[in-house]
């Protein structure tokens, strides 16, 4: 599980989109969703015609990098229970809205490990 | 260990740079290096004066996102030995050039675990 996207977000396999190579991943809607799509051709045409969109996407990508850096640090720096605690503290809406098996995959844990952690936290 | 940078790369705590907030991380030179620096003020002035740099950094940030996505997948999807094997296969120059304790931290492993994996791989 690489990423969750919320209302108003763009979502792509960035490598696949930009290289026009086949994606190794799926994008699943876990709730009903209305989607806007853009092709690479139209994305590039838009950037050439509207330079302000270069700025928009440069800033959007900057923010994406910040969020990916935080997630990476969380993933490599903490033991399993602490990872889940931090997710609950920083993204409570994720824990409420997203099925537990996807949360486990997002944290790089098995569903069994996550289930054990949740039981322990609920008891304490 | 969040990231290694090579000759010709830009390196920053993206959040700290853009928010002008204190960084939680250090940037260390592990080899002698000659550095160019840019302040946030000058970075923004450059982007406003030279719109082509919006495009340059938009593309650079895209590539950074691709590389961070790959690393994240590697980190959450594979057991310790497979993580190290994949690093050797895709970035042999990192394994040759960077001290083992930093490689361990980059992979989210203890130095002891990495040392055990390397011994095992050398024997086989």
- Is residue B26 classed exposed, middle or buried when 0-12, 13-18 and 19+ CB atoms within 10 A define those classes? exposed
pLDDT tens, position by position, for chain B (124 residues)?
Answer: 888 988 999 888 888 998 888 998 899 999 999 999 999 999 999 999 999 999 999 999 999 999 888 888 888 888 899 999 999 998 999 999 999 999 999 998 999 999 999 999 999 8
The span from the CA of B19 to the CA of B22, in Å, is 9
Contact call for residues A14 and B65 (beta carbons, < 8 A): yes
Q: Which residue out of B66, B82, B86, B110 would a mutagenesis test of the A interface target, given it has the greatest number of A Cβ atoms within 10 Å? A: B66
Instruction: For residue B102, give Cα distances in angstroms to A30, A69, B105, B109, B110.
Output: 38, 17, 5, 10, 10
pLDDT at A19: 86
Q: Closest Cα of chain B to A35: distance in Å?
A: 22
Query: How many angstroms away from the CA of A108 is the closest CA of chain B?
Result: 4
From chain A, pick out residues whose CB is under 8 angstroms from the CB of B57: 58
The predicted pLDDT at position B71 comes to: 86
Residues of chain B found within 8 Å of residue A10, distances taken between Cβ atoms = none
| Distance between CA atoms of residues B81 and A12, nearest Å | 29
DSSP A12-27: --HHHHHHTPPPSS--
A15 to chain B: which residues are within 8 Å by CB?
66, 69-70
CA distances from B85 to A118, B82, B105, B114 (A): 33, 5, 15, 11
Buried b (16+ CB within 10 A) or exposed e, A34-50: eeeeeeeeeeeeebeee
**Structure pTM?**
0.83
Cα nearest neighbour of B3 on chain A: A69
Instruction: Identify whether the C-beta of residue A34 lies closer than 8 Å to the C-beta of residue A102.
Output: no
pLDDT tens profile B4-35: 988 999 888 888 998 888 998 899 999 999 99
Q: CB-based contact (8 Å) between A107 and chain B? A: yes
Q: Tell me: the pLDDT tens digits for A88-103?
A: 998 999 999 999 999 9
A75 has a pLDDT exceeding 90: no
User: How close A85 gets to chain B, by Cα (Å)?
Assistant: 17
């Amino acid at each position: 599980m690489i990423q969750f996207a919320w209302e108003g977000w763009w979502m792509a396999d960035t490598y696949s989109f930009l290289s026009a190579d086949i994606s190794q991943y799926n994008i699943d809607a876990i709730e009903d969703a209305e989607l806007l799509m853009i092709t690479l051709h139209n994305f590039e045409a838009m950037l050439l015609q509207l330079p302000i969109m270069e700025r928009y996407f440069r800033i959007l990508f900057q923010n994406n990098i910040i969020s990916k850096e935080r997630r990476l640090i969380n993933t490599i720096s903490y033991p399993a229970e602490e990872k889940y605690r931090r997710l609950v503290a920083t993204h409570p809406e994720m824990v409420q809205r997203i099925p537990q098996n996807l949360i486990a995959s997002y944290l790089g844990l098995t569903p069994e490990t996550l289930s054990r952690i949740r039981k322990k936290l609920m008891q304490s």
